Structure 1
Amino acid sequence: MVSDKNDGPKSKVTMAYALELVEIEEQLAALERTNQRLQAMAERSSNNPDLERRRNEIIDKAAPLERRRQAIIAAEEAAAEVYVMHGETRSTPNLFSDIQPELGFLADIQSEVKKVEEDRSKKRERSKLLPARYTNQDFFVADILGYSLKDDHATMEAPVFSLKTQKDLTPWEWTSKDGTKHIEVSPSVKYGRATQHDKDILIFVTSQMTEALNRERPDTQSRAVRFTVHNYLVATNKPTGGVEYQRLERALDRLKGTTIKTDIKTGNKRVKEAFGILDSWAIIERSSSDERMIAVEITLSKWLYNAIHAHEVLTIHPDYFRLRKPLERRLYELARKHCGSKQSSWKIGLELLREKCGAQSHIRAFRNQVQEISNAHTLPEYHLIYEREADQVTFYVKNQQKLISSYLCR
């Protein structure tokens, strides 16, 4: 008759290795699924170094797991070689002394075995919720409905984007008035410098990721972001015709091609090397009828990603996307950044305002443009007043209650 006390140690150790083996195989399967997705993306988008780098990272992660898996299987096969002597069963001695589980199952094996035995003795209760199956994605999916629009502090302060509507090949350099912030922007030779309208993509993604962070979604840990083009066009108040898909593709090219070198920190971190506004972008899915892109994946720069995760963002008005002129959008950004949530007004000289806008026009032309915008009253949330004698501009909040409260507190 087989002795229970001789079977005990063997069954506990075997159970520990079985549990570890299951977890390793699940990790390998997840890595394989990710690798297959990346391979499919690489076939559709040739010569993409970022995809190749990510596939190599997956291979590097899988290698030690596969070695560990083979070691456990070999140990289990050795442990299965038992022999019977004088009516007793004994395991081959000390087979597992050279293999210690990395995942920590043997450290607390007694409590684990006890828990398993207790679970078996009870009727298993069915969870009221289905399990969360896909929590560790390699990309963030921008699919949230009902969120506030967000803009990052750094690009609201510094004039990163061109105000021109034609290709801008002019390198740009800006230093803050106090000399503490500096930025150099170099355009793509082929596509030109990213424009103020191109920034709509970043505002859309920043808004989505900020809301996802507030909801504690795990996929926000990735700098890779996927979204459908139709959702983006609707969210940014654009037509959904075929020409907009072409404009988006050109905008993505400019964002990737425009490089920045700056000492402005985001998330209390400084990115010391020059970097693209986007690290990369790729078309994930195309229409079968007309080849236009349906879904895209972009990889954010560390600079913008750090700002989003540090919540260095401000809520902007949805009517921002209704502003036609790049200068209108830039003036609204500056008013929103400097008035914030507490100030009711902000005053600035016209020449300094021209520098902060990043305008390349002559001061006389810029003065006329500002005067036209002041007369049109198109800016959401703010009135823009130009005082010709002082040659300065004042922004006032349109909220009368906030304006009155501010004056009473003086």
Structure 2
Amino acid sequence: MPKEIAVPTQPDFFVAYLTDLPWKDQRETMERPFFSLSKNKRTEPIEYTSPDGKVWVKVSASMEYGMATIWDADILIWAASQLVNLIEQGHTEIPRTLRFAPYDLLKALGRDPRGKRSYELLRAALDRLTHTAVKTNVRSDGVKKTASFHWLDSWKEIVDERTKQSRGMEITLPDWLYRGVLMRGGVLSLHPDYFQLTGGFERWLYRVARKHGGMQDSGFFISLPTLYEKSGSDGLYRRFKYELRKIVERDELPEYHLAWIEETAGGEPSLHMVRRSKLHPTDPAFRWEHKRDRRTPIECL
């Protein structure tokens, strides 16, 4: 289990300029149902309890803004990547507040940084992150400890009154996420192609595979009912099963190959998640080509 390290002194804020950093994701957010997987507005809460009853997550949406989505989480990944970069550069003062040009953030996430619509969508995402309430005992370390927070403590924007153009934005991360990024083993690297995945289920499956599959030679097996519960999906199980089957058939996830295992104990299918680089070179999935070589491993902390 990741160990928490001493939290460095926090300066008031950090101005983020770099847009081509290695991507880092907070590992505890990758397998639990913390985000909506749909672009449609979701107000129904997520309530998840692990099969052994030890871990639970509750996510409540704002009726006005809806629940934060897995696409909104890109902003948190960007922020985590900025913090990790500061740590790797030897900085001893790590902020919870980041200032940035929205153009740079949109460009880094592979979104159109020029259109007015992109800025409107960015503001909407920041609102959802700020108003989505999370309550969980993840990271309780064997004691009864509950954390309650929003994905962003706050966000601000400076707008030129004359031109109406944005002159910069500022976000403040919650303490739970901030400490999760800073603790030892608290982040995992993401393949850049993650941001090219358009489906919510695809994005979530990649994060689950990245969290569980790792570098294991044999990969990782997980049943569909367990995946369904972990997804927090508000759709029917049979629809979830149908969508996953299509994703497996396309086999387009970066780094990881998915295989559908039809016959398992209990009568429900399972998924086998394995890193493509661990497959035999003659396996068709080993030589998958899409945008860039998706077998390329990324260094982990």
Question: After superposition, what is the alpha-carbon deviation per residue over 1:321-354, rounded to whole angstroms, capped at 9, x for unaligned?
Answer: 0000011000000000001233541111111111
Unaligned runs of 5+ in 1: 1-134, 405-410
Which of 163, 179, 189 is residue 306 of structure 1 equivalent to? 179
Deviation at 1:294, TM superposition (A): 3.9
- Identity of aligned pairs, percent? 37
TM-score, length of structure 2 as denominator length: 0.82
Deviation at 1:265, TM superposition (A): 1.9
Which of 392, 396, 399 is residue 274 of structure 2 equivalent to? 396
Which of 160, 164, 168 is residue 42 of structure 2 equivalent to? 168
**1:259 maps to 2:133:** yes
Question: After superposition, what is the alpha-carbon deviation per residue over 1:133-173, rounded to whole angstroms, capped at 9, x for unaligned?
Answer: xx985102222354210000111121100012111000111
Measured in 1, the distance between the counterparts of 2:107 and 2:218 equals 32
Tell me the C-alpha RMSD between the 2 structures: 2.5
Q: Which has the higher strand share?
A: 2
Measured in 2, the distance between the counterparts of 1:229 and 1:180 equals 40
**1:149 maps to 2:23:** yes
Q: Which runs of 4+ in 1 moved over 6 A?
A: 266-271, 401-404
- Which of these two proteins has the greater Rg computed from alpha carbons? 1
Which of 167, 170, 175 is residue 297 of structure 1 equivalent to? 170
Of 394-403 and 251-260, more deviation after overlay is shown by 394-403
Corresponding residue number in structure 1 for 2:98: 225
Change (3 A) 1:183 1:399: same
CA contact (8 A) 1:287 1:294 kept: no
RCO comparison, higher one (Cα < 8 Å, 6+): 2
**1:278 maps to 2:152:** yes
Measured in 2, the distance between the counterparts of 1:219 and 1:285 equals 28
Question: After superposition, what is the alpha-carbon deviation per residue over 1:345-386, rounded to whole angstroms, capped at 9, x for unaligned?
Answer: 111111111111222221211111011111212200011111
Which of 57, 64, 67 is residue 193 of structure 1 equivalent to? 67
Secondary structure at the aligned position of 1:399 is classed as: helix
Unaligned runs of 5+ in 2: 1-8, 283-301
**1:326 maps to 2:200:** yes
Measured in 1, the distance between the counterparts of 2:102 and 2:218 equals 37
Measured in 1, the distance between the counterparts of 2:146 and 2:244 equals 36
Residue identity in the other structure for 2:38: K
Which of 80, 88, 112 is residue 239 of structure 1 equivalent to? 112
**1:370 maps to 2:244:** yes
TM-score, length of structure 1 as denominator length: 0.61
Q: Which has the higher helix share?
A: 1
